[in-house]
């Protein structure tokens, strides 16, 4: 590579061979870290009296290591006051990081499960074009309100069933660069979340997104995986070759019947799609969640403060 073709920025040099994004070499390497920490590292929990703590002390002690990852009020919250009406909105700043890695400025991003628009707000924040679908008109309205409050351009949204994505996008003749989505895992395992159950087991399932039977979050596992596969197969028709499919996923607590590493099951389902190859994952550690003394003082029950960001690529 001739030096004269490199572009210098304050964060390093841009390589003209990079056709994927606008990152410098330094920014690229930073992104490859499989742990996505938005700020610093958490403090380590130390102390010899760990098992002697009361339940309250345990929780309070754990809470010390939790920082709010992204503010939930003020201008840095990106209209969280509106978005929080959805059971699981994604922080637009997090989606921004993914979009900035997987696309260039002016690129096109598809989100078949928009919700209140974490992905689409991030498109507007980064100079990308977004297109999205959600079953719920109410969530799409909240997304539009959030855009307006933030003074951001609203991206194109369709109220509809992502299972009919091919039909919804049928007139589109320009490929997407990235599919970035956060599917509804909600009621997939058909378990109710009550305060008591949550306290004992750590199950943290969002309440149903909608009451519709075609809401993937209301489906039993087998139907859920088939439906998710169908949505991704249809998305691929509109994705460029070598474009990425990035899917969020949170695991559930293991049971005697199943390990409940939902991310592994999602990968198993999606790698059956011809031409789609699993490329690895990143982990998002959500420091805005509280730690609870699940299982205390009898058994280990994990606090799942992280989510998987599963990364696939359309190969040809
Ligand atoms: C986990 S949420 C997405 C949240 C989003 N990332 C955000 O930032 O708000 C999943 C969304 O998928 C929607 N959904 C469920 N089934 C759907 C379907 N068949 N077609 C389109 N949207 C669906 C739900 O209404 C819900 O808003």
Per-residue model confidence as pLDDT tens digits over 241-278 = 999 999 999 888 888 999 999 999 999 999 999 999 99
Ligand 1 centroid – CA 9 distance (Å): 38
pLDDT, tens digit, for every residue of 234-243?
Answer: 999 999 999 9
In three-state form (DSSP H/G/I as H, E/B as E, the rest C), the secondary structure along the chain is CCHHHCEEECCEEECCCCCCCCCCHHHHHHHCCCEECCCCCCCCCCCCCHHHCCHHHHHHHHHHCCCCCCCCCCHHHCCHHHHCCCCCCCCHHHHHHHHHHHCCCCCEEEECCCCCCHHHHHHHHHCCEEEEEECCHHHHHHHHHHHHHHCCCCCEEEECCHHHHHHHCCCCCCCEEEEEECCCCCCCCCCCCCHHHHHHHCCCCCCCCCCCCCCHHHCCHHHHHHHHHHHHHHHHCCEEEEEEEEEEECCCCCCCCCCCCHHHHHHHHHCCCCCEEEEEEEEEECCCCCCCCCCCCCCCCCCCCEEEEEEEEECC
Q: Is the pLDDT of residue 17 over 50?
A: yes
Q: What pLDDT score was predicted for residue 187?
A: 58
The atom of ligand 1 lying closest to the CA of 90 is 8
Model pLDDT for residues 102-156, shown as the tens digit of each residue? 888 899 999 999 999 999 999 999 999 999 999 999 999 999 999 999 999 999 9
In which band, very low, low, confident or very high, does the pLDDT at 196 lie, cut at 50, 70 and 90? Answer: very low
Select from 262, 247, 78, 91 the least CA-distant residue to 179: 247
Count other C-beta atoms under 10 Å from residue 284's C-beta. 23
Q: In percent, how much of the chain has pLDDT > 70?
A: 80
Around 228, how many Cα atoms within 13 Å sit in the side-chain half-sphere?
Answer: 31
Pocket lining: 111 vs ligand 1, CB cutoff 6 Å: no
CA gap 297, 59 in Å, rounded? 12
Does ligand 1 lie within 6 Å of residue 136's CB atom? yes
CB 157 within 8 A of CB 140: yes
CB of 89 closer than 6 A to ligand 1? yes
CA distance 131 to 172: 11
Please tell me the predicted confidence (pLDDT) of residue 262: 94
Q: Is the pTM of this model over 0.75?
A: yes
Verify whether ligand 1 is closer than 6 Å to residue 77 (CB atom): no
In sequence order, the β-bridge partners of residue 269 are: none
Task: Check residue 51 and give its pLDDT.
Answer: 30
- pLDDT above 70: residue 7: yes
Residues in the chain: 316
> Closest Cα partner for 190 from 129, 128, 257?
257
The mean pLDDT value of the chain amounts to: 82
Domains of the chain: 24-314 (3.40.50.150)
Beta carbon of 215 within 6 Å of any ligand 1 atom: yes
């Amino acid at each position: 590579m001739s030096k004269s073709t490199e572009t210098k920025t304050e964060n390093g040099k841009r390589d003209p061979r990079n056709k994927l994004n606008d990152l410098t070499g330094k920014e690229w390497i930073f992104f490859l870290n499989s742990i996505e920490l938005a700020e610093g590292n958490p403090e380590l929990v130390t102390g010899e009296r760990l098992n002697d703590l009361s339940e309250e002390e345990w929780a309070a002690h754990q809470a010390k290591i939790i920082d709010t990852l992204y503010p939930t009020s003020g201008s840095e919250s990106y209209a969280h006051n509106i978005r929080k009406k959805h059971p699981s909105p994604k922080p637009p700043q997090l989606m921004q990081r993914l979009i900035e890695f997987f696309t260039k400025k002016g690129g096109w991003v598809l989100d078949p499960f928009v919700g209140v628009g974490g992905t689409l707000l991030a498109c507007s924040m980064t100079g990308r074009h977004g297109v999205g679908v959600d079953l719920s008109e109410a969530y799409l309205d909240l997304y539009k309100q959030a855009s307006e409050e933030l003074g951001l351009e609203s991206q194109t949204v369709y109220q509809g069933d992502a299972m009919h994505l091919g039909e919804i996008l049928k007139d589109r003749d320009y490929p997407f660069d990235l599919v970035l989505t956060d599917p509804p895992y909600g009621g997939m395992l058909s378990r109710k979340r009550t305060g008591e159950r949550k306290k004992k087991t750590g199950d943290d399932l969002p309440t149903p997104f909608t009451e519709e039977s075609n809401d993937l979050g209301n489906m039993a596992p087998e139907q859920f995986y088939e439906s998710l596969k169908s949505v991704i197969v249809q998305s691929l028709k509109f994705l460029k070759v070598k474009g990425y499919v990035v899917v969020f996923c949170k695991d559930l607590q293991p049971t005697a019947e199943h390990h409940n590493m939902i991310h592994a099951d999602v990968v198993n389902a999606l790698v059956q799609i011809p031409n789609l190859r699993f490329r690895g994952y990143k982990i998002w550690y959500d420091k805005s969640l509280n730690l609870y003394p699940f299982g205390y003082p009898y058994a280990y029950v994990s606090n799942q403060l992280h989510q998987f960001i599963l990364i696939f690529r359309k190969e040809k």
